[in-house]
A and B are shown apart, each in its own frame.
Chain A
Amino acid sequence: MSASYEAVGWNRQKKFYDWLIAGFCILYLAVFIGFTAIYNPQCTFETMLIRSAGTLAILLLHIILAIGPLARINKKFLPLLYNRRHLGVTMFTIALVHGGFAILQFHTLGNVNPFVSLFTSNTQYNSIAQFPFQALGFFALLIFLLMAATSHDFWLHNLSPKIWKALHMFVYLAYLLIILHVMLGVVQYETNPVFVIIIAVGATTVILLHLAAGIKEVKKDSQLFDRTDQGFSYVCNVFEIEESRAKIFCIGVERIAIYRCEGRLYAVHNVCKHQGGPLGEGKILDGCITCPWHGYQYLPGNGQSPPPFKEKVSTYDVRIKDEKVWLNPTPYPEGTERPGAMI
């Protein structure tokens, strides 16, 4: 959250995660290269690097793709979501090492431009077993490059969250390309079934997690609130909402978060202006609703970010009658002050 674009403020948690990511990657590469050097000493260092970086990038991609649904299924995974961007850039860097060295080793020693060679050295596009799998990896790398290059909030702000999100959803296409890159590449040249098993387990895990999280969200969106009174719908009892926390309700087109803060209930639009994070899954910190994804903050009474920040979300009327909470889903303009409901 920033009024202007400044260097990232590294907090203790972020530093810890970054060191964890760096340590894991270095350890993985060292162990992979070490074992290869012992058990396959004829292998060149470039080949070892290509193989170790390729497998590490795929492992990281699976972790990245699992974080989103895991965070939606269980809030304990939210800290991972907060640091997912760094993991994504790390994955791209490692994939770039894999792709760069592969192009260097397989395509730079001839008299043809390496990128031309990449697409023309094998033109058996009509064959599955002989398919030029390197082209699939190249296009996936291109998508990762776009994502890594636009990962900073500067691009999010300038492209608008809608376009930025649409661009970053291309990661799913990249994932498909990577799976095919492996299946039509290394798997075709190895007899060991371990590659197929690992890829199948990884893809199944990611698919199941995304489907489980998606179905859970659809159920939440489909909940009916049929008790109405003068535009207000009955949503829950007061005691169901913990202090400094919220409950989320989907009435009509979008979700609304009802927060309990210092003896009052406040209702705000559930979608954070930054990256569309679920405000209702955050908590009140320093008197502000704090988005669980990246820490953007809003005042519960008016949905405005505290000065000097300028983000605003819509507010709603909420009332309490006989310990029952009633919500009016008609939004007020973003940043409109509402008194909330006294408990």
Chain B
Amino acid sequence: MMKRLRKRHLQIWMFLAFLLPAGILVGWLTVPKEPVQAVLQPETSTPLPVVLKRSDKQNYTAAIRSSTDGLRLQLEWINKIALQYPAATIYAGTTSKDLNKAKLIGRIEARGNWYLPLDSTFKATSGNTDHFILYDFIHHQVIDTINFKP
């Protein structure tokens, strides 16, 4: 190796010795405080026994389920065929396509059955229309909306 090239290598690595740790540190500090993965990907659970509402689409079926005492609610998501999106999030909202007013329910992947718990603030009353939004968080676009008619 030429002397000039050796010197350039050392200069580059002295520069990288600052740049790489800085990049790692900044990346680490900006990791969201909320555990994104844990919130979006809850442990797989078993379906609750009572089906309150069901929406059947070409590629998937969604249902709101509850326990027999009605205290626990759950969104059932069954992919009939693989989704065209490798991963997506589901939001619950009162109006369609308004993510700002919607509540994050969980994350699903392209295949499989998913049972996402709905917290106590969700009311699946028979007189309301419940909206769910299927959202592609990679491309930041709404894929579909699911409306459970009363």
A residues at B contact (CB < 8 Å): 42-44, 46-47, 105-106, 109-110, 117, 121-122, 128-129, 165, 169, 172, 175-176, 179-180, 182-184, 187-192, 196, 199-200, 203-204, 207, 210-211, 214-215, 217-218, 221, 250, 253-255, 271, 276-278
Assess the B27–A184 pair: CB atoms within 8 A.
yes
Report Cα–Cα, A59/B91, bound state, in Å. Answer: 37
Is B71 an interface residue, CB under 8 A from the partner? Answer: no
Assess the A189–B37 pair: CB atoms within 8 A.
yes
Assess the B27–A188 pair: CB atoms within 8 A.
yes
- A–B pairs, 26, beta carbons within 8 Å: A42-B111, A105-B86, A110-B139, A122-B138, A122-B139, A128-B27, A169-B8, A180-B27, A183-B23, A183-B27, A187-B27, A189-B37, A190-B37, A191-B35, A191-B37, A196-B27, A203-B24, A207-B20, A211-B13, A211-B14, A214-B13, A215-B10, A218-B6, A221-B3, A254-B2, A276-B1
Interface range, B side: 35 or more
Assess the A172–B139 pair: CB atoms within 8 A.
no
* Smallest CB gap from B85: residue in A: A109
* Smallest CB gap from B38: residue in A: A191
Q: Which of A117, A129, A221 contacts B32 (CB 8 A)?
A: A129
A42-B23 contact given A210-B13, A211-B17, CB 8 Å threshold:
no
Which residues from chain A contact B35 at a C-beta distance below 8 Å? Answer: 191
Interface string of B50-69 (1 = CB under 8 A from A): 00000000000000000000
Assess the A117–B27 pair: CB atoms within 8 A.
no
Report Cα–Cα, A340/B57, bound state, in Å. Answer: 88
Report Cα–Cα, A336/B1, bound state, in Å. Answer: 22
A271-B1 contact given A105-B86, A128-B30, A191-B37, CB 8 Å threshold:
yes
Assess the B109–A44 pair: CB atoms within 8 A.
yes
A255-B3 contact given A211-B13, A218-B10, CB 8 Å threshold:
yes
Is B21 an interface residue, CB under 8 A from the partner? Answer: yes
Which residues from chain B contact A211 at a C-beta distance below 8 Å? Answer: 10, 13-14, 17
**Minimal beta-carbon separation of B14 from chain A (angstroms):** 7
Interface string of B17-36 (1 = CB under 8 A from A): 10111011011101110011
B residues at A contact (CB < 8 Å): 1-3, 5-10, 12-14, 16-17, 19-21, 23-24, 26-28, 30-32, 35-38, 44, 82, 84-86, 109-112, 138-140
Which residues from chain B contact A214 at a C-beta distance below 8 Å? Answer: 6, 9-10, 13-14
* Smallest CB gap from A104: residue in B: B86
Query: Which one of A122, A175, A207, A218 has the highest number of Cβ atoms from chain B below 10 Å of its Cβ?
Result: A207
Which residues from chain B contact A128 at a C-beta distance below 8 Å? Answer: 26-27, 30
**Minimal beta-carbon separation of B35 from chain A (angstroms):** 4
Assess the B138–A106 pair: CB atoms within 8 A.
yes
Given A128-B26, A165-B5, 11 more A-B residue pairs with CB atoms under 8 Å apart are A109-B84, A128-B27, A129-B32, A179-B20, A182-B27, A183-B23, A188-B31, A214-B9, A217-B10, A221-B3, A277-B1
Which residues from chain B contact A105 at a C-beta distance below 8 Å? Answer: 86
**Minimal beta-carbon separation of A246 from chain B (angstroms):** 16
**Minimal beta-carbon separation of A317 from chain B (angstroms):** 21
* Smallest CB gap from A120: residue in B: B139
* Smallest CB gap from A253: residue in B: B3
Assess the B1–A47 pair: CB atoms within 8 A.
no
**Minimal beta-carbon separation of A336 from chain B (angstroms):** 20
Assess the A210–B9 pair: CB atoms within 8 A.
yes
Which residues from chain B contact A199 at a C-beta distance below 8 Å? Answer: 24
Assess the B10–A276 pair: CB atoms within 8 A.
no
Which residues from chain A contact B12 at a C-beta distance below 8 Å? Answer: 169, 172
A203-B109 contact given A128-B26, A169-B8, A277-B1, CB 8 Å threshold:
no
Assess the A44–B86 pair: CB atoms within 8 A.
yes
